[in-house]
Amino acid sequence: MNNQLLIGYDDRHTFLNRLSGSTKLLCFVGLSIIGMMTYDTRYLIGIMIFSLIVFHFSKIKYRDVKFVVNVIIGFSVLNLVMVYVFAPHYGVSIYGTEHLLLGSANHYFNLTTEQLFYEFNLLLKYTFAVPLALIFLMTTNPSEFAASLNKIGISYRVSYSVAIALRYIPDVQNDYRTISLAQQARGFEMSKKANFMTRIRGGVQILLPLIFSSLDRIEVISQAMELRRFGKGKKRTWYMAQKFQRNDYLALAIVALLIIIGIALFKVNGGRFWNPFKI
């Protein structure tokens, strides 16, 4: 059976795999924040190229992430279109000039270079963050996941519940399948033969047993955890946590440098936007 999640960890024997999970999480979060804040196109292109190069080194195969990437592209395009539909003049108001490409200035839907440029910046933001997120998820051992969340300051209870939730996804999927088939055997037509409403109603029938069986699981696992002293202390250690090594400090230093450049550019540009129209 396919127990892989949507995005699966695999040891691909690269330096990225050997970095500690916390390093990767910190780098990912740090770069994402600065990338989301800045609208300096030069900077965004720079970190996009950086993230694509790192992605190349991670040896993640495109076909492993095809589905996720397609979904993200779909949503990004939709998002860009919606930004245009709801605020076609936003670029103009940011950059202060108006270079018309299509339509006239009085029309709501016209196209300006400023708007295109603004949306191009948005596109860059999406593209640079996606490879980073994929790298983090696909090169971090799930066992290390909770440890790294905990290390960056999230309470270990929350970190562990995230890890446990991940671990239970395949079980719940199996449960869902079994229950669904058992219900079909009782006479709920759930196959494509039935119409949409019938299938929705069938889905609700499955939900009740699924919830009950999941609640049972939760009760047992929380007892098992309590019996092994989970929640005893304010802190806990992690068997799988990795100590910071030279490469970790190196990676953090590079990312810190990138972030400092980003912040410095705020000063240079006198704000978050780099304006090529104002000469």
Partner 1 sequence: MTAPLISFKDFSFQYNSQTEPTLRHLNLDIYPGEKVLIAGPSGSGKSTLGRCLNGLIPQSYPGKLTGQAVINGHDISHSSIFELSMDVGTVLQDPDSQFVGLTVVEDMAFSLENDQQTQPAMQQATAKWAQTLDLNQLLTHRPQELSGGQKQRVSMAGVLIDNSKILLFDEPLASLDPASGKASMALIDQLTHTEDLTVVIIEHRIEDVLQQPIDRLIVMQDGAIVANDRPETILRQSLMAQLGLREPLYLSALKLAGVDLDDCTHLDSLAALTVPNLTTTLQQWTAGVTLNTPTVHADPLLQITDLNFGYSPDKPIIKDLSVTLNRGEMISLVGQNGTGKSTLSNLITGFLTPQSGALTFNGKSLADQSVKERADHIGYILQDPNQMLSKTLIYDEVAAGLTLRGVAADEIEERVLATLKVCGLYEFRHWPISALSFGQKKRVTIAAILVLRPEMIILDEPTAGQDLQHYTEMMNFLTQLNRDQAITIMLITHDMHLMLEYTDRTIVLGGGNILMDAAPADVLTNETIIDQASLAKTSLYTLAEQHQLNPTEFVAKFVQAEREAR
Which residues here bind partner 1, judged by CB under 8 A?
1, 142-143, 163-164, 167, 171, 175, 178-179, 181-189, 191, 193, 205-206, 208-209, 212-213, 216-217, 220-221, 223-233, 235-241
Separation between Cα atoms, residue 267 and residue 142, nearest integer Å: 39
Minimum separation from the CB atom of position 141 to partner 1 (A): 8
Minimum separation from the CB atom of position 187 to partner 1 (A): 4
Comparison of 99 and 217: residue with beta carbon closer to partner 1: 217
Minimum separation from the CB atom of position 221 to partner 1 (A): 6
Comparison of 53 and 166: residue with beta carbon closer to partner 1: 166
Is the Cβ–Cβ distance between 251 and 27 less than 8 Å? yes
Pairing of strands 111-112, 100-102: antiparallel
Separation between Cα atoms, residue 278 and residue 259, nearest integer Å: 25
Task: Name the strand (E) or helix (H) holding 70.
Answer: helix 62-86
Comparison of 158 and 225: residue with beta carbon closer to partner 1: 225
Query: Which two three-digit tokens encode residue 78?
Result: 């939709």
Count other C-beta atoms under 10 Å from residue 238's C-beta: 17
Comparison of 113 and 141: residue with beta carbon closer to partner 1: 141
* Alpha helices (runs of H) in 111-195, residue ranges in sequence order: 113-139, 142-151, 156-186
Comparison of 232 and 278: residue with beta carbon closer to partner 1: 232
Minimum separation from the CB atom of position 271 to partner 1 (A): 46
Separation between Cα atoms, residue 79 and residue 102, nearest integer Å: 21
Q: Which residues contact 256 (CB under 8 A, 6 or more apart)?
A: 30
Minimum separation from the CB atom of position 133 to partner 1 (A): 21
Strand segments, DSSP code E, in the chain are 100-102, 111-112
Comparison of 54 and 190: residue with beta carbon closer to partner 1: 190
Minimum separation from the CB atom of position 53 to partner 1 (A): 31
